[in-house]
A and B are shown apart, each in its own frame.
Chain A
Amino acid sequence: MDSPALFLPRSSLDALLQALRGDGYERVLGPVARDGAITFQNVQSAADFPVGVRDRQAPGQYRLESGADPRCFAWANGPQALKPLTFAPRETLWRCERDTDGGLVFRDAGERNVRTAVIGVRACDLAALKIQERHFLKEPYPDPRYAARRESLFLVAVHCSHPASTCFCASTGDGPRAETGFDLALSELDDGFVVTVGTERGAAVVERLDLDRASPGQRTDADAEIEAAARQQVRALPSRNLRDSLYARLEHAHWDQVGRRCLSCGNCTAVCPTCFCHAEQDEPTLDGSRTDHLRQWDSCFTAVHSYMGHFLVREETRLRYRQWLTHKLASWHDQYGRSGCVGCGRCIAWCPVGIDITAEVAALLEPAHA
């Protein structure tokens, strides 16, 4: 949408929340600092946002610190991406009832989607959402549950101005500026927000607010913060397409090296905004008259992920790490036309032993060991 940038004074942040509710978004989620991490939670007012909160992230480390300024979005992503809002961590796919003659009736689980607005979405997570859409909505079997949840989401992006040391979205081309995929996008300045409209739905919400146009100075300041956020990033992947380089190194000695450090815990796949693996299982009632068929997030780091009845395809941790990394950065190109990594850095911060995807790639590409 090509409409002029507007300015939302900081004092009107509550008015934005009210406008979203007024436009039919029953649930408004925003960043909340709770239990030592920033995650998306229900927000009643702007006071729920992490005012003045900063984060410090490093391999295997995530800490929040309090600051003294009024900024609400001066942090890089916490562990939770948009993923759980569209690809549910655990859900009932269908329900089966067995009648007294043994007949089976399969029914929809009847889950209802709540129209949800999310404030504070980062560019990397918007890119990840687009990647997961390609996966779950691809023909010939688009997933109706994913489609319904995606359709019910209203996304308010906030361009990233405070990247963590673990961030590398500038090198993957997915941030720090949110280019597409949002309904509204905000740039946070000290006294308020520069607002750009991405969709008709976004325009409808903004109309309720009666905002002035952003001044040229405000727009310049906003752009400068985003550009600085790109320059501040200290990590990078060496290329947006590592497919051939990694396919050529499937027997590299470094897989053993990283395999010895990796605990195979699956934290990286849980926090990754694009990992889509899930397992299915039945949960029958005790009297046997009904059973729910569930799916829940799975990880290629578990033993059962490659279970084949009489053997495991990936018994060793090094093979699981190689599966994850080569899927994410190599075979993803074959499947979906781009890398499966958006540079959010979560897998680095949330790895209990601090395995760093950018460092592992660098070691794999090191010519001396090839």
Chain B
Amino acid sequence: MSTHKLTAALSIFAVNFGCLAAGPNLGKPIDAAEIAAWDISILPDGTGLPPGSGTPAQGAPIYAQKCAACHGENGKGAANAAVVGGAALTNGIDTVKTIANFWPYSTTLFDFIRRAMPYQQPRTLTNDEVYEAMNAQTLPKVRMPNRDGFIPRFPDKL
């Protein structure tokens, strides 16, 4: 086969089979409005936070009713982990991690509480209930005490 003919044959091969590389295309296009109910990811800069707000006075009874059974009065811990307090992390590797002594970003609070709490009825809290005393503008601005307490283990993998 001459070089010319080989090139031509390869071109035909590419034309005929090139389309297969794109895959079966069996996904159904979906728009943001259709995804909205599932789209509950919050980023540390506040991206994804919904409208809503609350006050401490509104939040206290919600906590008492929906959180305290597991997390204790005022978040001090009961059947499940404390959410406030916590020893200095220099006290040893098995220091109990709390929101106050460990969590680097406040947005994780909204993300996790909304998606996973209360344990028996996840995603039943309203956005206002999740925010308690915060809103989409104030929450990401909270600088958590342990923000700079982390070392990426394998930076080359990020």
Q: Do A and B make up one complex?
A: no
Binding site for B on A (CB under 8 A): none
Binding site for A on B (CB under 8 A): none
